[in-house]
Amino acid sequence: MQTKRLVSPSDLSIADMEELFTVSAELKKRLLNGIHDQSFLGKTLVAIFEKPSLRTRLSFETAMTQLGGSTISVAQGEIQIGKRESVPDVARVISRYADVIAIRTFAQKTVNTLARYASVPVINALSDEHHPCQALADIFTMREKLGDLSKARVCFVGDSNNVSQSLAWFCAKLGIRFVLAAPKGYGFNEKFIKAVRRDVGQDKLPIREMRDPLKAVKNADVVYTDVWTSMGQEEEAKIRRAAFENFQVNAKMMKAAPKHAVLMHCLPAHRGEEITDEVVDGKQSIVFDQAENRMHIQKGLLYLLLGETA
């Protein structure tokens, strides 16, 4: 892997992604065969959490443990990054203690600044603009379930949040067709599209937007959804529920999709809101496979960022 950080999807080339998928698959295979790699013995991950976390925290901590390393998780109240102490100073100090830093925060600017001043690899574990670890785990899971994705169609039913933006960006890099089914006013902004065009190097991207979710999923191989109201948007909850009223992924919507389509959700799910129990627990759901793969893809990412080879 050429890069030594993962701040946004622009940090990874196609070759980097292919190497990551290969290494993650190999490490997952070893684990399933009872082989525990101890390459990270004596190495430390410092994980900073400004937002609550289940999958991100546990998947990173478990990945480091299984590789023989350790994790120190700190909450915003403990360090007050950017308030009690400047982000550059936090980056410089932690770099003296740890081998790698992961941060789950609100502002993308915080991640960018941390990576700029840190002398060790920095991983964006979620920001208001991007969730690259989630998107990479999603594509890794799609490859496991569907095989070749060169002709695949991914339909994200929801808004242009951090998950959909990272997933659309990585799909554009890999030439995977991506459709965002969203109400008017909740689609991708021009700044995002320009950034993807600049990174991918082409004006015509395999990214579309549709307003009718039933039509959008008609040819989808993957139907993906997420919560309608993300952390930090709580005041908009009532407005968003009204706007997304017809965008619930339920039995009717899955029936409109091809029979072979798989269902994905990055979790946590607000059951009965953006998705129903019937489909999240149904035969087409691979929701918990993608949750598991967060650990495997992050293990591969840590492995490569710290200079290991599978």
CA distances from 255 to 146, 192, 246, 288 (A): 19, 32, 15, 21
Whether the CB-CB separation of 39 and 271 falls below 8 Å is answered with no
Per-residue pLDDT tens listing for the chain (310 residues): 888 999 999 999 999 999 999 999 999 999 999 998 899 999 999 999 999 899 999 999 999 999 999 999 998 788 888 888 999 999 999 999 999 999 999 999 999 999 999 999 999 999 999 999 999 999 999 999 999 999 999 999 999 999 999 999 999 999 999 999 999 999 999 999 999 999 999 889 999 999 999 999 999 999 999 999 876 667 788 999 999 999 999 999 999 999 999 999 999 999 999 999 999 999 999 999 999 999 999 999 999 999 876 5
Distance CA 40, CA 45 (A): 10
By DSSP bridging, strand 44-49 and strand 153-157 are unpaired
Kindly report the backbone phi and psi dihedral angles of residue 111, in degrees, each rounded to the nearest multiple of 5, phi listed first.
Answer: -65, -45
Q: In this structure, which amino acid lies at residue 258? A: P
The domains located in the chain, with CATH, are 9-131+291-305 (3.40.50.1370), 134-288 (3.40.50.1370)
DSSP-assigned states of every residue in the chain: ---S-BSSGGG--HHHHHHHHHHHHHHHHHHHTT----TTTT-EEEEEESS--SHHHHHHHHHHHHTT-EEEEEEHHHH-BTTTB-HHHHHHHHHHH-SEEEEE-S-HHHHHHHHHH-SS-EEEEE-SS--HHHHHHHHHHHHHHHS--TT-EEEEES-S-HHHHHHHHHHHHHT-EEEEE--TTSS--HHHHHHHHHHHT-SS-SEEEES-HHHHTTT-SEEEE--SS-TT-GGGHHHHHHHTGGG-B-HHHHHHS-TT-EEEE-S---BTTTB-HHHHTSTTB-HHHHHHHHHHHHHHHHHHHTT---
Distance CA 55, CA 176 (A): 26
Whether the CB-CB separation of 67 and 37 falls below 8 Å is answered with yes
Distance CA 213, CA 108 (A): 29
Give the active site residues: 104, 131, 134, 226, 266, 294
Picking from 233, 250, 309, the residue whose alpha carbon sits closest to that of residue 284 is: 250
Whether the CB-CB separation of 174 and 202 falls below 8 Å is answered with no
pTM of the predicted protein model? 0.96
